[in-house]
């Protein structure tokens, strides 16, 4: 019997200790996280109201309130006066109280429920009445709210944390292209030679209420000059699969689908496809973000980003060096790629620092023609000197190194090239480069 009593006492002690761990902190404080002036977007819906919330928080709780906490609040116009009189505030003198008939704050208290740390003060805005207000560009309408009491713990000891000027900015619900969300209208697209490919471009709705909305998009070549200077993508090179997208609410993410066709495109030419939201079944498109310009270029199957490793032998100094770099190789024709000759910083890797060598061969280019064979691990290659890029032309003496094997491994997407060129003193720079697609 004594043993049973002892076990019971141990269990009770354990339960008490566990309860102690879960108790609230010794110094919780109730306050408004977004205290002071805060600018909030409300949406000009078709009549009705738009509901928002001001959060109230209790800090210092390990696992939420052990009992319900009731937090009192009130509308306090004196907060507006105090803000405008304080010349250190960002919008001092520019704040006005939102007329009482333009909004409704429900109740005079909010409850932080047991086990939680926050509550919400609901604010309901009357959109029609706010639209009717005289609104100057340099003025802000606010709802001034002050916390007045708490049933448990204390309000924050800095009263600034217990006051809020909930400023509003009335905005129309808008539709726009996701890829143009920052006002940058151009999106890259490369079409592989001999293929067709479908690209998807997301259309976004902001502030859109529940319901069904249709947004229509059109090809608008006349708008290209507003965004880019270049060649308009011919209509034969693309097809808009769905010229309209449907929204159910602002969380919908419908995609505009466009099929691009390689036929009719030329290498070394850049095309632009301007797409514009031309109509919406309700609300409107954001004027600054309603156009997406797709930058289209033709590429071959060898155009990729490569990780290159190379060994360089300088016959003048009989010095050998090794380097690695990332290289973006571009298409020049169906079977020709263009690439920069290896370099470190602004100098050719392995070149001497002597005048006329380190800078003479910086930022030069070469082209490689890939010739398929019956062995996919060993396609033949041909080096083509670049002679049409001015200062970026290949060195005049550039050639494949005699007696060295150069090839393209189609299976591994790897280019092995041995090439050389002479420095300004006539000495050979011999390079072995292995470029593997990433």
> Cα–Cα distance between 351 and 317 in angstroms, integer?
10
Nearest to 306 by CA among 322, 323, 336, 326: 326
pLDDT band at 25 (very low <50, low <70, confident <90, very high): low
Return the closest-CA partner of residue 164 out of 95, 233, 70: 95
> Using one digit for the tens of pLDDT, what is the confidence trace for 346-382?
445 444 444 344 456 668 899 999 999 999 999 999 9
- Which domain range does residue 223 map to? 174-299
Query: Is residue 427 in some structural domain?
Result: yes
Looking at residue 16, its pLDDT comes to 41
Q: Is residue 18 part of a domain?
A: no
Instruction: Report the candidate in 49, 54, 30 with the shortest Cα–Cα distance to residue 144.
Output: 54
| Average pLDDT score over residue span 200-204 | 92
Are residues 164 and 240 located together in one domain of the fold? no
Residues 235 and 219 in one domain: yes
- Residue burial 135-164, b: 16+ Cβ < 10 Å; e: rest: eeeeebbbbbbbbeebebbebbeeeebbbb
| pTM (2 d.p.) | 0.69
What is the Cα–Cα distance from 389 to 419, expressed in whole angstroms? Answer: 20
Does one domain contain both 96 and 154? Answer: yes
pLDDT digits (tens, 9 = 90+) for 128-171: 999 899 888 889 999 999 999 999 999 999 999 999 999 999 98
pLDDT of residue 22: 40
The residue from 299, 332, 364 where one domain ends is 299
Choose the weakest-confidence range: 111-115, 176-180, 305-309: 176-180
User: Can you list the positions of beta strands (E) in 262-387?
Assistant: 270-280, 284-285, 291-299, 305-314, 319-328, 330-331, 336-340, 365-371, 379-385
178, 295: one domain: yes
pLDDT of amino acid 134 = 85
Band of the pLDDT at 429, cuts 50, 70, 90?
confident
- Same domain as 178, residue 165: no
Evaluated on CA atoms 9, 11, 17, 19, the torsion sign reads negative
Domain annotation covers residue 16:
no
Q: Within its chain, how far is the Cα of 162 from the centroid?
A: 35
* DSSP-derived secondary structure letter, 234: P
**212 in the same domain as 109:** no
Q: Are residues 48 and 167 in the same domain?
A: yes
Structure tokens at 190: 């490369």
Q: Rounded CA gap, 191 and 383, in Å?
A: 25
Residue with tokens 């003060």: 121
Q: Are residues 184 and 141 in the same domain?
A: no
Can you tell me the distance from the alpha carbon of 392 to that of 340, in angstroms, rounded to the nearest whole number?
Answer: 9
Does residue 282 belong to any structural domain of this protein?
Answer: yes
Per-residue pLDDT for 60 more than 80? yes
Asked if residue 160 and residue 43 are part of one domain, the reply reads yes
Average pLDDT, the chain: 87
Residues 6+ apart with CB under 8 A from 252: 205, 208, 246
Cα gap 432→438, rounded to integer Å: 19
Which of 275, 274, 276, 272 lies closest to 297 in space, CA to CA? 272
Q: What is the CATH number of the domain that holds 41?
A: 2.60.40.1740
For the domain that residue 358 is a member of, what is the CATH number?
2.40.128
In this structure, the answer to whether residues 210 and 266 fall within a common structural domain is: yes
pLDDT of the residue at 398: 94
- End position of a domain, from candidates 171, 193, 216: 171
Q: Which of 150, 171, 192 is the last residue of a domain?
A: 171
Is the pLDDT higher at 5 or at 223?
223
Strand bridging mode 174-177 / 196-206:
antiparallel
Domain count, the chain: 3
Angle CA(26)–CA(32)–CA(36) in degrees, nearest 5? Answer: 135
Q: pLDDT value at position 24?
A: 60
8 is a domain residue: no
Residue 252 covered by a domain: yes
* 161 and 178 part of one domain: no
In a domain, 279, yes or no: yes
Which of 74 and 347 is assigned the larger pLDDT? 74
Q: Are residues 286 and 189 in the same domain?
A: yes
Helices (H), 148-275: 224-227
The whole-number average pLDDT for the span 37-66 is 89
Any domain includes 214: yes
Residue 14 has pLDDT above 60, yes or no: no
Q: What is the mean pLDDT of residues 54-69?
A: 91
């Amino acid at each position: 019997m004594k043993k049973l009593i002892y076990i019971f006492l141990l269990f009770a002690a354990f339960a008490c200790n566990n309860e102690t761990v879960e108790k609230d902190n010794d110094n919780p404080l109730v306050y408004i996280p977004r205290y002071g002036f805060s600018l909030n977007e409300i949406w000009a819906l078709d009549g009705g109201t738009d509901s928002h919330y001001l959060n109230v928080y209790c800090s210092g709780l390990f696992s939420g309130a052990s009992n319900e906490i009731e937090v009192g609040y009130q509308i306090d116009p004196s907060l507006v006066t105090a803000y405008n009189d304080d010349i250190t505030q960002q919008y001092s003198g520019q704040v006005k109280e939102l007329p009482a008939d333009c909004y409704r704050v429900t109740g005079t208290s909010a409850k932080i429920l047991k086990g939680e740390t926050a509550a919400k003060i609901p604010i309901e805005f009357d959109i029609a009445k706010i639209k009717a207000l005289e609104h100057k560009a340099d003025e802000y309408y606010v709802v001034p709210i002050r916390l007045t009491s708490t049933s448990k713990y204390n309000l924050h000891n800095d009263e600034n944390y217990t006051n809020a000027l909930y400023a509003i900015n009335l905005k129309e619900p808008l539709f726009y292209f996701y890829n143009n969300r920052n006002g940058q209208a151009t999106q890259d697209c490369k079409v592989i030679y001999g293929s067709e490919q479908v690209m998807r471009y997301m259309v976004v709705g902001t502030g859109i209420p529940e319901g069904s909305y249709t947004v229509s998009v059109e090809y608008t070549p006349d708008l290209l000059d507003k965004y880019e200077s270049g060649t308009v993508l011919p209509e034969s090179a693309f097809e808009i699969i769905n010229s309209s997208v449907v929204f159910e609410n602002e969380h919908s993410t419908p995609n505009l689908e466009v099929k691009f066709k390689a036929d009719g495109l030329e290498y070394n030419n850049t095309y632009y496809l301007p797409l514009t939201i031309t109509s919406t079944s309700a609300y409107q498109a954001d004027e600054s973000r309603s156009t997406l310009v797709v930058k289209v270029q033709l590429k071959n199957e060898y155009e990729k980003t490569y990780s290159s490793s190379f060994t360089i032998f300088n016959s003048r100094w009989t010095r050998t060096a090794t380097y690695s770099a990332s290289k973006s190789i571009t298409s020049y024709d169906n079977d020709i790629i263009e690439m920069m000759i290896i370099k470190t910083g602004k100098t050719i890797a392995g070149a001497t620092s002597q005048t006329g060598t380190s800078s003479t061969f910086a930022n030069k280019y070469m082209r490689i023609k890939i010739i398929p064979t019956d062995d996919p691990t060993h396609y033949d290659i041909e080096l083509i000197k670049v002679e049409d890029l001015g200062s970026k032309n290949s060195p005049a003496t550039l050639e494949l190194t005699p007696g060295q094997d150069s090839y393209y491994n189609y299976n591994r997407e790897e280019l092995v090239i041995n090439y050389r060129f002479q420095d300004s003193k006539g000495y050979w720079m011999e390079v072995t480069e292995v470029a593997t697609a990433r």
